[in-house]
Structure 1
């Protein structure tokens, strides 16, 4: 029997799914540049992690825009805990790039919705 955390994850997944799949969100692509293992004899070639997911964009209320942590133009992305392929979404990190609705954003801050060790979604502050 699924517990409350599994149900919370399922609800977030369903709500943040792309509109084409009955949700309220849009598709997004998360890109992260990764480094291979260090080898002093050979330069490391960067590789890229590419993940297809979905989410929802919200504008920050003007009372939260302080000009230092949150600046004008920053937006909040609510990201599904599950990729479009059905696998768990990796936790977004600072400086990840997210393509959402034709715009490329950089992750400034990432806060997982973490209940008892289970990520049921992510709230991201992103900037153009």
Structure 2
């Protein structure tokens, strides 16, 4: 059974992201069929998100590099859970997800998605 606390936390996160965030997209690229081949299929999902630069003290040059961003994505209305390899478009910039944390404490309610994004052109 879902915990009411996590539903309230999800609503609070969604409200803050809506107030201070922006519209963006999370694009999932499905690989071609291994038997029949074909082209990869890109599916874009609308999202409300907040991209933020990492503090200089967090940049170690290996895991977190200069230019990486931490992106908070509202779980409310998201059809998918963003995962490693997905692409995020925010404010005209593209980011590839390097690491993702769904903040799903009870196994049922995704409170907020926090992802580590890196410039998709790299």
Query: Hey, what's the Cα distance between the residues in 2 that align with 1:124 and 1:113?
Result: 10
Q: What is residue 11 of structure 1 aligned with on the other side?
A: 12
Instruction: Calculate the aligned-residue CA RMSD, in Å.
Output: 1.6
Taking the TM superposition and a 5 Å limit, the aligned residue runs for 1:51-90 are 51-83=45-77, 88-90=78-80
Q: Select the structure with the greater relative contact order (CA < 8 A; seq sep ≥ 6).
A: 2
Number of residue pairs matched by the alignment: 116
Query: Hey, what's the Cα distance between the residues in 2 that align with 1:67 and 1:96?
Result: 22
TM-score normalized with structure 1 length:
0.82
Stretches of structure 1 that go unaligned for 5 or more consecutive residues are 18-22
**Secondary structure of residue in 1 paired with 2:15:** helix
Give the greater-gyration-radius structure (CA): 1
1:50 counterpart = 2:44: yes
**Secondary structure of residue in 2 paired with 1:10:** helix
* Match among 12, 21, 28 for residue 25 of structure 1: 21
Stretches of structure 2 that go unaligned for 5 or more consecutive residues are none
Query: Hey, what's the Cα distance between the residues in 2 that align with 1:57 and 1:115?
Result: 23
1:67-91, CA deviations, whole angstroms, 9 ceiling, x for partnerless residues?
Answer: 00001110110110023xxxx4411
Question: Shift of residue 99 of structure 1?
Answer: 0.5
**Secondary structure of residue in 2 paired with 1:105:** strand
Query: Hey, what's the Cα distance between the residues in 1 that align with 2:14 and 2:79?
Result: 11
TM-score normalized with structure 2 length:
0.86
